[in-house]
Copies of this chain bind each other. A is one copy, B any other.
Amino acid sequence: MSEIRQRKDTKENNVESADSNVDSEDDKSPKSDLSNAIPTGTNKAPSVLETVLNSLPDRWRNWVVRGIFSLIMISFFCIVIYGGPLALMITTLVVQVKCFAEIINIGYAVYRIHGLPWFRSLSWYFLITSNYFFYGESLVDYFGVVINRLDFLRALVTYHRFISFCLYCGGFVWFVLSLVKKYYMKQFSLFAWTHVALLIVVTQSYLIMKNIFEGLVWFIVPVSMIICNDIMAYMFGFFFGKTPLIKLSPKKTWEGFIGGGVATIVFGFMISTFMSGFPYFVCPIAYNETRGGMSIDCEPSALFSPAEYTLPACIASVFQVVGMPTSFNIVPFALHSFSLSLFSSIIGPFGGFFASGFKRAFKIKDFGDVIPGHGGIMDRFDCQFLMATFVNVYFTSFIQSDSPQKLLSQISYLKSDQQLELFQLLKESLINRNILEIGN
């Protein structure tokens, strides 16, 4: 057993005095070892702020710190958007890595196998492998034509899945070889833990990336909806909250849930109407060959141009009686935003409940201590995760359709004689259906 070095303490985990603010609803559980092993959220502000706030009572200090760091995060979000798609992608990647680290650190603490050979490296190896796979997939999709021009990159593209799978198999073999007697159960548990973390974190950030490529609006609108829902549910709950919503989070109320939902719908409608006016937000990101870089430049599609909607006759007649207009000029995207805001205000909070149940399960207060007043990155992004998938599925199901240009680039991968064969097949088919005239 000499290879198992057990760390006596976890001082390097940067333990903070977390006991000052443990949620009172935390079912009076006996303090487990975990609360010492995982860096948990703190209301301690950076020392400069601390001295300024020293005069305030504790309760208000917490509020001010939380509020200030909310504003800092929102400003940071705006700056990143201003920085363009590349800045957004890098931020997504950083957030993803940090979330993964937070989840994995909890796993280490839960199974107390600090020092078990290779385990840390193995988790990170799987993170890198799955990022290689997913990011590669989307880069191939978007820059395939460009990459194909450089010979050494062509092999990477053609055999991308094969290379990724070989990397994964390497990790799998490594895991099996690293198994140490008496630690099997912990090692298998952490293996599962790593894979679930990858499933949650990496696939989501891949989908966020895909959404960004379809146009910044598909990223900004859903993310800001969740932020709006978080804040407004909190406000409504604070001022009007009476009826408890769910046992899991005793502070959540029906009033907050419904008020937040209504506010999100209104906010979503406004922000999507506003953003539809800017090509920078609505155009998909494409590789511009002449500029040699990414560009956001297009003739915005009909989805983002105001269209006239007339009410159904039965409702219109009622409206006419009261003298209200029966037709409206609305951006179609703003109508689609209803689905997004409904999802973010109904299903989104369940991401939060899930995360808070998870924290209770392992008797931790927060996922980390990166953001003063908020906890870890995962604590802020818990509701965002399902949202990315929803946006992606919604987009592919209701908005996207194969464009002739996309299919043409797929055709260009065929050999010349196959391209010619396809051309003749298409010609016949078009003539048969009278879409094309013979001799054209």
- A residues sitting closer than 8 Å to B (CB atoms) are 27, 158-159, 161-162, 165, 169, 172-173, 175-177, 179, 181-182, 184-185, 187-188, 192-193, 195-196, 199, 246-248, 347, 350, 353-354, 357-358, 360-362, 386, 389-390, 393-394, 396-398, 401-405, 407-408, 410-414, 416, 418-423, 425-427, 429-430, 433, 435-436
B397 touches A247 (CB 8 A): no
Q: Determine the distance from Cα of A400 to Cα of B433 in the docked complex, in whole angstroms.
A: 30
Chain B residues near A393: list those with CB within 8 A. Answer: 161-162, 165
Chain B residues near A414: list those with CB within 8 A. Answer: 401-402, 404, 407
Chain B residues near A358: list those with CB within 8 A. Answer: 184, 188
Q: Determine the distance from Cα of A172 to Cα of B354 in the docked complex, in whole angstroms.
A: 9
Chain B residues near A422: list those with CB within 8 A. Answer: 404, 407-408, 426
A-B contact pairs, 29 of them (CB 8 A): A27-B182, A159-B397, A161-B396, A162-B393, A162-B398, A169-B390, A173-B350, A179-B248, A179-B357, A181-B247, A184-B358, A185-B361, A188-B358, A188-B362, A195-B196, A199-B199, A402-B410, A404-B414, A404-B421, A404-B422, A405-B425, A407-B410, A407-B422, A408-B425, A408-B426, A411-B426, A419-B435, A423-B423, A423-B436
Q: Determine the distance from Cα of A379 to Cα of B119 in the docked complex, in whole angstroms.
A: 26
Chain B residues near A246: list those with CB within 8 A. Answer: 176-177
How many whole Å from A24's CB to the nearest CB in chain B? 15
A394 touches B350 (CB 8 A): no
In this complex, what residue of B is CB-closest to A414?
B402
Q: Determine the distance from Cα of A187 to Cα of B362 in the docked complex, in whole angstroms.
A: 11
Q: Provided the pairs A181-B247, A393-B162 are in contact, do residues A187 and B361 lie with their beta carbons within 8 angstroms?
A: yes
Chain B residues near A404: list those with CB within 8 A. Answer: 414, 418-419, 421-422, 425
Q: Determine the distance from Cα of A353 to Cα of B172 in the docked complex, in whole angstroms.
A: 11
Q: Determine the distance from Cα of A27 to Cα of B396 in the docked complex, in whole angstroms.
A: 53
Q: Provided the pairs A161-B396, A165-B393, A193-B192 are in contact, do residues A411 and B407 lie with their beta carbons within 8 angstroms?
A: yes
In this complex, what residue of B is CB-closest to A358?
B188
Chain B residues near A165: list those with CB within 8 A. Answer: 389-390, 393
B185 touches A196 (CB 8 A): no
Chain B residues near A408: list those with CB within 8 A. Answer: 422, 425-426, 429
How many whole Å from A321's CB to the nearest CB in chain B? 36
Contact of A357 among B161, B188, B195, B402 (CB under 8 A): B188
Max chain B CB contacts within 10 Å: which of A158, A393, A398, A410?
A: A393
